[in-house]
Amino acid sequence: MVRVLRLFMLVTILCLTVQAQLIKSEKYEKYRPLYNAFIDVPYQTYDTQTVKLDIYQPKKDGLHPMMMWFHGGGWRKGSKDSVTSQLTPYLEAGFVVVNVQYRKLGEALAPAAVQDTRCALAFMLKNAEKYGVDKEKIILSGTSAGGHLALITGMLPSHSKIDAPYSQDVNFKVAVIVNNYGITDVKDILSGENRKGFGVDWLGNQENRAEIAESVSPLAYANKDNPAIITIHGDADPTVPYSHAVRLKKALDEAGVVNTLYTVAGGGHGSFSDEDKYLVYNEIVAFVNKQLGGDYMKPKKKK
């Protein structure tokens, strides 16, 4: 009975692995003539885990803008394999596209995920020439917790105390952050009316949890040296308070940072109408193209 159970578990794991690879290959198939794909590239190793990323490099010679994507899931769910379709607009635009795995709850508490995303960006900066990355045209993006990670990864100053040794020697420079309804004040979701279980769990029972929460809050790093930032947020979001977007907008304005807050009226946590999705997409395209100084991404036309 035990042997049968073990065999069943092994088959299940193999099927899930194959399914993940099929998802990757199916999403990538359209771009195969245009891209080289480097899947599951290790960028940092810990005692019990190696974190990896997928890199899609245009076959066309020269340097290209890069978009680095962080998946959502409240720092506790999701994976880089589950968001491939969200990368297609950037593949269409001919960007180097990087899809990042990071340590989630159950693997490590905060600030581990932030250390990982900073290391992922450091890895790409150190290997920019190898993968054809234009270091002057780097975009970070993600949804929800991924939006938070895009913000904190791009807004943290170089040589931050949070950084792991691998990223301590890197001079970080990001051109644009596309923040899709990301958390901007981690302390705010630990208690009070905006308390969220996923935030409480991510910080855990660490003695200095308030200090850590402050250190991984993008709102704490709003200053004139920030990248250009566009935030997309529904004003009826039940998961990440809309006030987080409003407060970030205010702080960025006061610091003189180029930024836009696009509010989806009545929008939930990424649950937008088709019309709103169309408007959001074109808003992002216009913002990214303006900041990069070219018509890289193509706006959608109404059907």
What are 70's two structure tokens?
């962080």
Separation between Cα atoms, residue 23 and residue 20, nearest integer Å = 5
Separation between Cα atoms, residue 24 and residue 292, nearest integer Å = 28
Position 2 confidence tier, pLDDT thresholds 50, 70, 90: very low
3-state per-residue secondary structure call for 119-183? HHHHHHHHCHHHHCEEEEEEEEEEECHHHHHHHHHHHCCCCCCCCCHHHHCCCCCCCEEEEECCC
pLDDT more than 70, % of the chain: 90
User: Rounded to 5, what percent of the chain is helix, strand, coil?
Assistant: 45, 20, 35
222-259: pLDDT as tens digits: 999 999 999 999 999 999 999 999 999 999 999 999 99
Separation between Cα atoms, residue 296 and residue 54, nearest integer Å = 22
pLDDT the model gives residue 38: 92
Q: Tell me what the pLDDT averaged over the chain comes to.
A: 91
Q: 178 has which bridge partners?
A: 141, 230
Separation between Cα atoms, residue 176 and residue 130, nearest integer Å = 22
pLDDT the model gives residue 14: 34
pLDDT at 21 over 70: no
Separation between Cα atoms, residue 261 and residue 8, nearest integer Å = 50
Position 18 confidence tier, pLDDT thresholds 50, 70, 90: very low
Mean of the pLDDT values across residues 181-189? 98
60-96: pLDDT as tens digits: 999 999 999 999 999 999 999 887 778 989 999 999 9
Q: Say whether domain 34-292 belongs to CATH 3.40.50.1820.
A: yes
R_g (Cα) of the chain, nearest Å:
19
Q: 190 has which bridge partners?
A: none
161-174: pLDDT as tens digits: 999 999 999 999 99
pLDDT more than 90, % of the chain: 84
Separation between Cα atoms, residue 259 and residue 185, nearest integer Å = 18
